[in-house]
A and B are shown apart, each in its own frame.
Chain A
């Protein structure tokens, strides 16, 4: 009996030993970027999982395959994560100096610590060489710090209220021109037992779009940017009023019940299942409403969009002022072992992306698109025209803010929607964080 136990123990140690040595050897090859086949391995990380961002995933996959076919000595190792996990993992990897060779980054506040901390490689050379006048104005600047550009922008998104045309028709509702109209629509829908709008305020950022638009319409298009610059305080009456209007909507029952526990995807489900009539989101959802094979055709035909209505008596009188901004851009890691190859891949990716994205995947790229002869659903042409006619696109507040303020902003938005804080406290806590930030930046 004892003997048997001993032999099992020996066996177990052997197995564990094998497993461990297996781990260590594979780790080594990954970190050296080269394994037995003598090819260059580039690590590429993106946040478009097959399940939830099908169109993005397939397009990236296709471009990677084409690149590998053109460069037989290069293998792209792809790692895909959900956006929230992606954000977290990038931070962890950066902290241990192990960023992937090529990856995606959000603009402004998100990219800043990486760029100024020397984690991202400056890409001005390829922007000058390969992308002259190719990007939509203002996009590259969102990834530029201290006069250098650190990413190739891939997306340009603006935000609309998408709505279910059938539900609107059923209750004789028309697209709202003013915020009062919107509230009236809400009241009618509530009376008939339909949820007016869905929002995932657990994540903060989806709910923040309501706040940002209201601030834009009440306080004028530059007000939130001015807050970041320190010219205006968050406790400005216009902004507090915007926060108040949010809580009025919450009191009314305008938003889906329990939204403070919903992620953006949970909330989206209510719109896709036709339980909620409206969904304020950005144009990255366009594929889901037009081309995506995963969404039933009957539903897609029901989806329309309208611009966020005007607030009567507000300073933002132009309905063509949008909240939006560049989404993701491709970065190259500064300490990549194959920096030139990585740059080459990033450039190829962004270029091909710009060529194919609208038609093949229904994504609006940050590179200029020629709408003539474009074979895309009408909604796209409308949106592309809107972008051309936009008088202002305010980059999302949480994107412009530093990670510190942005995270706080998300928490406060959730609390605002959950009625845990008053609009005044909401403003005050922002101001305190912004003031602390300003103090910190002055010191060094």
Chain B
């Protein structure tokens, strides 16, 4: 076995299938997307080379920057909600009664498909018969909000199910990291007279900071390229009130047959995502 593994050719051979998959499914399409961005192409007919025209248009496209702003807001929202998840996980990991059941409850949304979640929340937000407005009406409120139909509110309304959807995912990861914190450290702190809050803040959180950093990046990048609930629930509407980069890209490419411009948006999204990741990494490292 050792002999086999030290043979460079064999190693290369074993890596090859995975390498091919990654190349053909990820890297080559990325390069192609950038290339299609140079074209005027309706997705069906002939491509026409137009140089950097699409990218120039992108920089001056108000709607693109508006949807970028929406994506950035979502990213901020997701990162803030990490604090909530951290608190929930700390409580769950401190061996309270029923922690096991709660953990399972938080996981459930993650097991549902995005479309099911979207349908569920569309019904909850329904301005006439929805759960929220029915309760509000029962409490005597007149002029109940329109939620998804109100351009000023739709974006924030839609953040709620998005955050809810991923809660289980983040909680389970933080929880797993927390129960791996060495018990001796916590005991030692307790002997030194630290209270539960101090133990959490001074010992547990610093020890899992690596995991938290990864989660922040995951949350930010996931939010920037977020698509599914928005597509199903509002389709980016009303108007462009909930348009995010990915839904805008989809609309241009598949709605308007502008595959060239759609590709340019996709490439822009890639650059924005990479840039943000890089900045976050820099920021988190200097904090250390």
Within 8 Å by CB of A414, from B128, B239, B255, lies B239
Identify which of A110-118, A184-192, A237-245, A320-328 touches chain B. A110-118
Q: Is the interface of B mostly helix, strand, loop or mixed?
A: loop
A208–B136 Cα distance when bound, in Å, is: 32
**Interface pair B128/A420, CB less than 8 Å apart:** no
**Minimum distance in angstroms from B248 CB to a CB of chain A:** 11
| A409-423 interface (Cβ within 8 A of B) | 411-412, 414-415, 417-418, 420-421
Identify which of B84-92, B145-153, B177-185 touches chain A. B145-153
**Minimum distance in angstroms from A396 CB to a CB of chain B:** 17
**Interface pair A258/B44, CB less than 8 Å apart:** no
Closest to A416 in B: B239
Within 8 Å by CB of A117, from B42, B234, B237, B254, lies B42
Known interface pairs A404-B257, A411-B239, A420-B241. Does A261 touch B125 (Cβ–Cβ under 8 Å)? yes
A386–B239 Cα distance when bound, in Å, is: 36
**Interface pair B254/A420, CB less than 8 Å apart:** no
**Interface pair A414/B256, CB less than 8 Å apart:** no
Within 8 Å by CB of B154, from A113, A114, A117, A261, lies A261
A117–B41 Cα distance when bound, in Å, is: 11
**Interface pair B147/A411, CB less than 8 Å apart:** no
Q: Mark B23-66, 1 if CB is under 8 A from A, else 0.
A: 00000000000000000001111001000000000000000000
Q: Counting CB contacts under 8 A, is B259 at the interface?
A: yes
**Interface pair A418/B45, CB less than 8 Å apart:** no
Within 8 Å by CB of A260, from B43, B238, B255, lies B238
Q: Counting CB contacts under 8 A, is A91 at the interface?
A: yes
**Minimum distance in angstroms from B70 CB to a CB of chain A:** 15
**Minimum distance in angstroms from A39 CB to a CB of chain B:** 30
Q: Counting CB contacts under 8 A, is B251 at the interface?
A: yes
A91–B146 Cα distance when bound, in Å, is: 33
**Interface pair A113/B45, CB less than 8 Å apart:** yes
**Minimum distance in angstroms from B114 CB to a CB of chain A:** 14
Q: Counting CB contacts under 8 A, is A384 at the interface?
A: no
**Interface pair B148/A91, CB less than 8 Å apart:** no
Chain B residues whose CB sits within 8 angstroms of the CB of A420 once the complex forms: 151, 238-239, 241
Chain A residues whose CB sits within 8 angstroms of the CB of B125 once the complex forms: 261
**Interface pair A414/B237, CB less than 8 Å apart:** yes
| A173-205 interface (Cβ within 8 A of B) | 201-203
**Minimum distance in angstroms from A310 CB to a CB of chain B:** 31
Q: Counting CB contacts under 8 A, is B126 at the interface?
A: yes
Q: Counting CB contacts under 8 A, is B258 at the interface?
A: yes
**Minimum distance in angstroms from B158 CB to a CB of chain A:** 10
Known interface pairs A94-B43, A113-B44, A418-B238. Does A258 touch B255 (Cβ–Cβ under 8 Å)? no
Q: Is the interface of A mostly helix, strand, loop or mixed?
A: helix
**Interface pair B44/A119, CB less than 8 Å apart:** yes
Q: Mark B229-254, 1 if CB is under 8 A from A, else 0.
A: 00001111111110000000001001
Within 8 Å by CB of A258, from B126, B254, B256, lies B126
Q: Mark B149-181, 1 if CB is under 8 A from A, else 0.
A: 111001000000000000000000000000000
A119–B46 Cα distance when bound, in Å, is: 12
**Minimum distance in angstroms from A27 CB to a CB of chain B:** 16
**Interface pair A407/B256, CB less than 8 Å apart:** yes
**Interface pair A403/B237, CB less than 8 Å apart:** no
Known interface pairs A116-B45, A261-B154, A418-B238. Does A407 touch B251 (Cβ–Cβ under 8 Å)? yes
A129–B45 Cα distance when bound, in Å, is: 30
Size of the chain A interface, CB-CB below 8 angstroms? 37
Within 8 Å by CB of B44, from A114, A270, A408, lies A114
Chain B residues whose CB sits within 8 angstroms of the CB of A261 once the complex forms: 122, 125, 127, 146-149, 154, 233-234, 237-238
Chain B residues whose CB sits within 8 angstroms of the CB of A119 once the complex forms: 44
Chain B residues whose CB sits within 8 angstroms of the CB of A411 once the complex forms: 236-237, 239-240, 251
A388–B146 Cα distance when bound, in Å, is: 43
**Minimum distance in angstroms from B17 CB to a CB of chain A:** 11
A408–B235 Cα distance when bound, in Å, is: 13
A113–B238 Cα distance when bound, in Å, is: 28
Q: Counting CB contacts under 8 A, is A95 at the interface?
A: yes
| B103-150 interface (Cβ within 8 A of A) | 122, 125-128, 146-150
A117–B44 Cα distance when bound, in Å, is: 6
Known interface pairs A415-B239, A418-B239. Does A259 touch B45 (Cβ–Cβ under 8 Å)? no
Chain A residues whose CB sits within 8 angstroms of the CB of B256 once the complex forms: 403-404, 407-408
**Minimum distance in angstroms from A258 CB to a CB of chain B:** 3
A95–B263 Cα distance when bound, in Å, is: 14
Chain B residues whose CB sits within 8 angstroms of the CB of A88 once the complex forms: 254
| A28-43 interface (Cβ within 8 A of B) | none
Chain A residues whose CB sits within 8 angstroms of the CB of B237 once the complex forms: 202, 260-261, 411, 414-415, 418
Chain A residues whose CB sits within 8 angstroms of the CB of B127 once the complex forms: 257-258, 261
Known interface pairs A117-B42, A117-B45. Does A407 touch B255 (Cβ–Cβ under 8 Å)? yes
A414–B149 Cα distance when bound, in Å, is: 10
A403–B259 Cα distance when bound, in Å, is: 12
**Minimum distance in angstroms from A314 CB to a CB of chain B:** 28
Closest to B123 in A: A266
Chain B residues whose CB sits within 8 angstroms of the CB of A256 once the complex forms: 128
Which A residues lie at the B interface, using CB under 8 A? Answer: 88, 91-92, 94-95, 113-114, 116-119, 201-203, 256-262, 270, 275, 402-404, 407-408, 411-412, 414-415, 417-418, 420-421, 444
Q: Lowest 7 CB-CB distances: which A-B pairs, in order? A: A258-B127, A415-B239, A117-B44, A260-B238, A258-B149, A261-B148, A261-B149
Q: A258-B126, A258-B149 are in contact. List 17 more A-B contacts (CB 8 A).
A: A113-B42, A114-B44, A203-B235, A257-B146, A257-B149, A258-B147, A260-B239, A261-B146, A261-B147, A261-B238, A403-B256, A408-B256, A411-B251, A414-B238, A418-B151, A418-B239, A420-B239
Which B residues lie at the A interface, using CB under 8 A? Answer: 42-45, 48, 122, 125-128, 146-151, 154, 233-241, 251, 254-259
Q: List 17 A-B contacts (CB under 8 A).
A: A94-B44, A95-B44, A95-B259, A113-B43, A256-B128, A260-B237, A261-B122, A403-B255, A403-B257, A407-B251, A407-B255, A411-B236, A414-B239, A418-B151, A418-B238, A420-B238, A444-B48
